[in-house]
Structure 1
Amino acid sequence: MALRENLFHVVQASMIGSILSNLLLVLGFCFLFGGPFRKEQHGSPFPHVPWFPRPCVVRFELPTTPASDKIVLNISRGIAIVLLIIYVAYLVFQLYTNPDGLKVTPKRAARDPETPDAPEGEDEDEEDEEPVTLTWVAIAALALSTLIIAICAEFLVGSIEGLSKEAGISETFIGIIILPIVGNAAEHVTAVSSAMRNKMDLSIGVAVGSSHQIALLVTPAIVVMGWILDKPMDLDFGAFSTAVLLVSTLVVNSLIQDGKTHWLEGWMLIGAYVIVAVGFYFVPDPTELIR
């Protein structure tokens, strides 16, 4: 909807914001709320968060001219196609090559000694849970939810400009901080509640998996959609946003690769997200910088 209204910086901000909110805010709350009564939480080796160079690096080598904008746009479209191919390969690997990686590893023996043992039979009941929703019911519910979200998105995008002027905050801040938190609220609750039940494989899978989808599917798909609609949507997120995303990716990878977490790491990630939010609050929109 924002792409259709030519709000390109809002689209870019929402893509960056979705990744940052999952990597810093959601993971931070998962570690924080999952760990108060446990020394550590354990799981399978957590997936690596991918990072791909963005065309903003090329921007530094080019003068600010319409010709350079065209070069960055062409580079973005080429990268988008490659990312979509990588995402297809990623799905094939998960679903066919390594389907066991999607299963939550039963690590009952690794329960923290400080956590009280569950009543006899509770673990078995959790492992024996089977989905009861019929396939057609799930598909119908998904279609209905998508329709409702599309209608809500129409009103939301239409109110961004008014909210920005009324509240005195930039559209970039709305796209990076507010939209991802509101739009992914249900998913965030799922990840945090799973962490509180000590299901860290599922919790990390939700948060990191969402980041994979945004980076490898949604962002390049938006660029391709702009290409189809003849909209100059590119992957030039700007130096500040790109640097923040790169550093956040490195920090999260350093925390999750050992397969164990604790509540202090949660505080660190939440603090990092607050710092990022403060930074973007004072960064003006690109259009204001041009003016």
Structure 2
Amino acid sequence: MTDDPFVVHRRLLFTVAYEMLGSAADAEDVLQESWLRWADVDRTKVADPRAYLVRTVTRQSLNRLRTLARSREEYVGEWLPEPLLTSPDVAEDVELAESVSMAVLTVLETLGPTERAVFVLREVFDLPYGEIAEVTGKSPAAVRQIAHRARSHVAARRPRVPVSAAEQRAVVERFLTALRTGRVQELMAVMAPDVVLVADGGGVVRAARAPLHGADPVAKLLARAHLAVADLVTRTVWLNGAPAGLVEVDGEPTAVSLVVDGGRITRIYVVRNPGKLTRLHSPVDLAR
């Protein structure tokens, strides 16, 4: 039924689950579990289906986060969120685009499950403290305190000044051009001196297992990688609400998201784990 509230709000529910989990695959599992619960509900007793479904998805996401904690602790190398191909329309909602950016999702990984739920529901979806309290099992006063702590934590670690899509795209294209040449100086010219590269190969494919700091070592690493590649194809795409790079290395995809400040790259997120690159063929619908 197209008028079923679950179907009507599915984009919103997926976005909630994805921001909670940083994984589209896990978000889809949560939506499936939530749908099964929704199917058994007496709809006549649900006054606000949207709020009810958001609460259900959040609870299932919290359960999933706690289940995933051990596997993420044992993950080989750095764990990065699963990149999503998105349409340019997502960027029109600046707050939504920022909240699903690789940079912010990576910061959210440093929050505990309850802190993450409170931050996402309050800062991104603007739910009342009372509703968040019901979801998390905390008092409204405690939720306010958690929200304040989480907000401060994220603000201290997120990119300082968001840039326009046009500026982001220009820097992405400069970076991809330099990447195709493999020349250290050209790569360094587009990076800030204190640039950080974080790569996720999941122990499945080759990738740096610890963050790399500084324009010189990052540029030299990328230049060495270029020499080892027989075929390198790059293109600019929209990932997680912003222009980014999709790089095919000998036919295998790699997603590259950049943080830009003052026209130069301050952070590079490289996702090579093939298990996280299955949603790069058609845009994923996100909504608030």
Task: Check whether TM > 0.5.
Answer: no
Larger gyration radius, structure 1 or structure 2: 1
Does 1 or 2 have the higher relative contact order (CA < 8 Å, sep 6+)? 1
TM-score by length of 2: 0.29
More helix by share: 1
